[in-house]
Chain A
Amino acid sequence: MTQLGELSLWIALLMAAWCTTLAVQGALMRREALTKSGARGLCAALLFTATSAAGLGTAFLGDDYSVRYVAMHSSSNVETFYKLCAFWSGGGGELLLASLMVAAVGSTAAMIGVRRDADRARGAWTVATLGLILSAALAATAFKANPFALVARAPEDGRGLDPILRHPMMAIQPPLMLLGAACTASPLAMVIAALIRRRFDETLFARVRGSVLVPWGLLSAAILLGARWAYVSPGLRAARTGSPAVITSAIAWLVLTVFLIAAELRLGARTPLAHADVTRRRAGRLLAAGGAALCLIVFAARPLAKDYNVQINDGEQYRAKDAWGHAWTFTSQGTSRLERQGDDVIALALLPTRDGVRQPFVASESRQYYGAGGLDIYPAQTVPGIRSTIAQDLFVVLSDAGEGRAVLRISFKPLVELAWIGGVLLALGGLLLFWLPPSEYAT
């Protein structure tokens, strides 16, 4: 299946190149049959990219450590759920998944573009651009980070998935981000085709604006989820900040936001709107403004945050004050050690009181994952204990523990929950505000 996966990757690249060549020929010679053949090439590229992805997925599920990428990102003691997530944990798999999504979005957009665009040559250029984007993604996968590369001698077990990525969010956030970035290909291809043809009419503008909203919504959701994930998993930000997928998605989101704001200003100044549209836009503006205000409040409250570096013995009590002047005590309940197959967990539980009133327990863990032969390949992973209220988040991070003593950091972060609410309001408000009135599609 690995062989079929790699073969399919190369065939998909050939199909995408075929699509670009034939669509360019179709545009230059005004022959619709060539454009149609190019669009079909894109669909065939989708089929082969999906086969290639299935090949890599099978290699992960079947623990095929002769494949370097599988040996680097999985091991026999990784749960099946995380074996699947390991698919996109490295550059090669991420590129292959992005190619699959570009192929799916591109083939749909190409079939629609060929049928719907009144200007046949512009439709052909749209197909050619989509083919070019997919060719670039597949070429980068095949030449630069081929996930099907084999090792000279297959190891008995793999290196395992990076512990920082062993979080349920791994199944949602990266694919959502890649899908958002892939969906950007469709409006981008339409704009490039219009620039080549120098024909940018109202109908096309409405179609571009309508298709921009989907990637903007997906990327906004991915950014919010990513921020939340980085908040609850210290260390993730350092691991993922330089990732090309994250940088590309952030740039795409910024460009789309600027485009949508410009289009919104143009629409607001130009056309009289129906009552329902005016109400929708007003609600969107209110939500977005409310969200932005909440985020600003949280930003302004950041200097109020309190951090305490604590060294505490079992049964000992530590006193602290939060951002609002409340007196807290933390009584150590001692550390506990749990040895499981594949990882050792050290947990510390604290019993907090606020102004003398007992609060629920807060526990922080340090997890050491083991790879093949009991080797601790990755550094220990800290899982913070978080107690969230609207007023503030109590954040406890265990740094070290041993011999009846623990080293930890206790933080009071004021109004953090408002930032998440503000982010969601901003995204929802943006969607309401940027939603294209149905009348605009008809122009």
Chain B
Amino acid sequence: MTPLAIGALLAVAAMVWVIAPIFSEEHEPDGQVRGRPPSPAADDAAEAAIRRWREPKE
């Protein structure tokens, strides 16, 4: 294996490791990712919270 091939392999491995956090962001359990809709369960919970907040005023 030539030194350049070793360098290229190292670079690819490092790049995969470096960009991994960006892709793992999609799998966060609470689903709170900027620009993406939250999960249905989180949606329901948020609606319930808003309803509870509005109730005393009405």
Q: Which residue of A lies closest to B14 (CB)?
A: A44
Instruction: Kindly state whether residue B49 has any CB partner on chain A within 8 Å.
Output: no
Contact: B17 with A3, CB < 8 Å? no
Contact: A3 with B3, CB < 8 Å? yes
Number of interface residues of A (CB under 8 A): 21
**A401–B19 Cα gap in the complex (Å)?**
67
Q: Which residue of B lies closest to A4 (CB)?
A: B3
Pick from A30, A31, A44, A51: contact of B18, CB under 8 Å? A44
Contact: A51 with B21, CB < 8 Å? no
A40 with B11: in contact, given A1-B3, A31-B34 (CB under 8 Å)? Answer: no
A33 with B24: in contact, given A15-B18, A44-B14, A51-B10 (CB under 8 Å)? Answer: yes
Contacts of B11 in A (CB 8 A): 11, 48
Output the least CB separation between A16 and chain B (Å). 11
A47 with B10: in contact, given A4-B4, A7-B4 (CB under 8 Å)? Answer: yes
Within 8 A of A (CB), among B29-44: 34
Contact: A34 with B22, CB < 8 Å? yes
Contact: A18 with B4, CB < 8 Å? no
Number of interface residues of B (CB under 8 A): 18
Contacts of B8 in A (CB 8 A): 7
Q: Is the interface of B mostly helix, strand, loop or mixed?
A: helix
Instruction: Kindly state whether residue B45 has any CB partner on chain A within 8 Å.
Output: no
Instruction: Kindly state whether residue A41 has any CB partner on chain B within 8 Å.
Output: yes
A-B contact count (CB 8 A): 53
Instruction: Kindly state whether residue A37 has any CB partner on chain B within 8 Å.
Output: yes
Instruction: Kindly state whether residue B47 has any CB partner on chain A within 8 Å.
Output: no
Instruction: Kindly state whether residue B50 has any CB partner on chain A within 8 Å.
Output: no
**A47–B14 Cα gap in the complex (Å)?**
9
Contacts of A44 in B (CB 8 A): 14-15, 17-18
Contacts of A48 in B (CB 8 A): 10-11, 14
**A44–B21 Cα gap in the complex (Å)?**
14
Contact: A40 with B10, CB < 8 Å? no
Output the least CB separation between B45 and chain A (Å). 22
Pick from A1, A7, A8, A33: contact of B21, CB under 8 Å? A33
**A334–B15 Cα gap in the complex (Å)?**
67
Pick from B14, B15, B25: contact of A33, CB under 8 Å? B25
Output the least CB separation between B32 and chain A (Å). 11
**A31–B19 Cα gap in the complex (Å)?**
14
**A237–B3 Cα gap in the complex (Å)?**
40
Q: A33-B25, A37-B20, A48-B11 are in contact. List 18 more A-B contacts (CB 8 A).
A: A4-B6, A4-B7, A7-B3, A7-B4, A7-B7, A7-B8, A8-B7, A11-B14, A15-B18, A34-B21, A37-B19, A37-B21, A40-B17, A40-B18, A44-B14, A48-B10, A48-B14, A51-B7
Q: Report which A residues bind B (CB closer than 8 A).
A: 1, 3-4, 7-8, 11, 15, 18, 29-31, 33-34, 36-37, 40-41, 44, 47-48, 51
